[in-house]
């Protein structure tokens, strides 16, 4: 699936550009976006190193396990395949908390660490059921405060920059719930096919 | 309520660092060694991430700069008008799942052209704030741990994005009409 999307986007783009006369823009985009990717990873590297460093201390000081104990009933329902007392639970929980509070910089390293722990549990090239659930919840983007949007609205002179916050919370809550339901349906369908 | 949440977002990170370091020191843990150990893990994740992110970003930007997206929107415009979807929002809806920076650019363009307090402006703000970039999350999260078979993650993610767009249009129409 990823192969088709990846190659497809580029193939469609280049073919279309040949007929559309935008090939010079495409040529420029190839190099500028490769450069942009490097910049992005450099930005990400600094927060990854800092956060995973701090979180390692938090893990050894048993702060993470205390945090996850509180949310365990919910998180273990969402991830029935994961061992209940494994540190991965704490990383998943703290990733969700960071996302909800709009701390994107903290959420990504925690999420990646959670993925690493899940990978070690399964040790396979295939995405596990828990990984898919985790990803889907992350892409749904549950949030309480859309900081970037509020900043943009202020910049363009909104008289009520925060008036879309309530709508955003409602929409992202609904999409998160829907994402969890769709994920379950897909999983159950797959299980049924396996059993037939 | 919003002020409170802003305050929490502002002090959460420094406060968390303070708590972790204080408890770690109190428990006589080798805090600095642990920090470096965790940091090394972060570094190796970033390195394994780089080719995934670069490949994906290049492919997406070829697609975007070719202008095929604008062409597609023109093509489906009559259909959208028929089902009462404002066509101005379509570029954002199509960009949001594949590129976060592009979506942000589209959102600021919509806010500038239509005004943040217009229907389109409010809808764009809600859409921009209420979902994450599906393809980016999948690339980064799976890329960092070397998962090649991603299961249903992309399908579910894109389906959720579609439902998010429909929900946003419904809710904003309901709230601001």
| Low-confidence residues of chain A: pLDDT under 50 | none
Contact B144 A167 (CB under 8 A): no
What pLDDT does residue A130 have?
94
Report chain B's mean pLDDT, rounded to a whole number. Answer: 86
Contact indicator for B98, B60 with CB cutoff of 8 Å:
yes
Q: Is the ipTM of this complex over 0.85?
A: no
pTM: 0.82
Contact indicator for B25, B31 with CB cutoff of 8 Å:
yes
Residue B34 confidence class, pLDDT cut points 50, 70, 90: very high
Contact indicator for A79, A86 with CB cutoff of 8 Å:
no
Longest dimension (CA), chain A: 61
How far apart are alpha carbons A113 and B41 in whole angstroms?
9
Closest CA to A18 of B160, B66, B4: B66
Residues B107-115 have a mean pLDDT of 88
Is residue B1 predicted with pLDDT exceeding 70? no
Instruction: For residue B98, list chain A residues with Cβ-Cβ distance below 8 A.
Output: 9
Smallest CA–CA distance, residue A82 to chain B, in Å, is 17
What pLDDT does residue B24 have?
95
Closest CA to B135 of B89, B99, B85, B160: B99
Mutation target to probe the B interface, by most B beta carbons within 10 A, among A164, A179, A180 is: A164
């Amino acid at each position: 699936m990823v192969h088709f999307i990846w190659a497809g986007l580029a193939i469609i783009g280049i073919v279309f550009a040949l007929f559309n006369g935008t090939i010079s823009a495409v040529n420029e985009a190839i190099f500028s976006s490769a450069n942009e990717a490097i910049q992005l990873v450099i930005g990400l590297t600094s927060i990854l190193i800092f956060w995973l460093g701090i979180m390692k201390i938090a893990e050894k000081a048993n702060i993470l396990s205390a945090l996850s104990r509180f949310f365990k009933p919910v998180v273990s329902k969402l991830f029935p395949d994961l061992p209940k007392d494994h540190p991965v639970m704490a990383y998943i929980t703290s990733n969700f908390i960071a996302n909800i509070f709009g701390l994107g910089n903290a959420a990504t390293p925690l999420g990646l660490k959670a993925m690493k722990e899940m990978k070690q549990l399964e040790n396979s090239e295939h995405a596990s059921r828990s990984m898919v659930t985790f990803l889907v919840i992350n892409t749904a983007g549950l949030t309480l405060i859309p900081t970037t949007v509020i900043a943009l609205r202020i910049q363009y002179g909104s008289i009520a920059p925060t008036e879309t916050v309530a709508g955003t919370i409602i929409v992202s809550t609904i999409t998160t719930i829907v994402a969890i339901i769709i994920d379950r349906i897909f999983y159950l369908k797959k299980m049924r096919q396996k059993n037939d | 309520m919003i002020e409170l949440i802003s305050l929490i977002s502002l002090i959460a990170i420094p406060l968390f660092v303070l708590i972790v370091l204080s408890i770690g020191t109190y428990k006589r843990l080798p805090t600095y060694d642990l920090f470096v150990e965790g940091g090394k893990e972060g570094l190796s994740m970033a390195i394994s991430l780089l080719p995934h992110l670069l490949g994906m970003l290049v492919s997406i930007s070829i697609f975007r700069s070719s202008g095929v997206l604008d062409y597609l929107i023109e093509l489906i415009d009559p259909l959208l008008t028929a089902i009462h979807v404002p066509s101005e929002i379509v570029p954002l809806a199509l960009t949001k799942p594949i590129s976060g920076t592009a979506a942000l650019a589209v959102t600021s363009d919509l806010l500038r052209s239509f005004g943040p307090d217009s229907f389109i402006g409010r809808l764009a703000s809600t859409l921009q704030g209420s979902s994450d970039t599906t393809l980016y999350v999948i690339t980064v999260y799976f890329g960092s741990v070397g998962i090649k078979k991603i299961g249903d993650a992309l399908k579910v993610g894109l389906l959720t994005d579609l439902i998010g767009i429909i929900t946003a249009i419904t809710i904003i129409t309901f709230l601001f009409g």
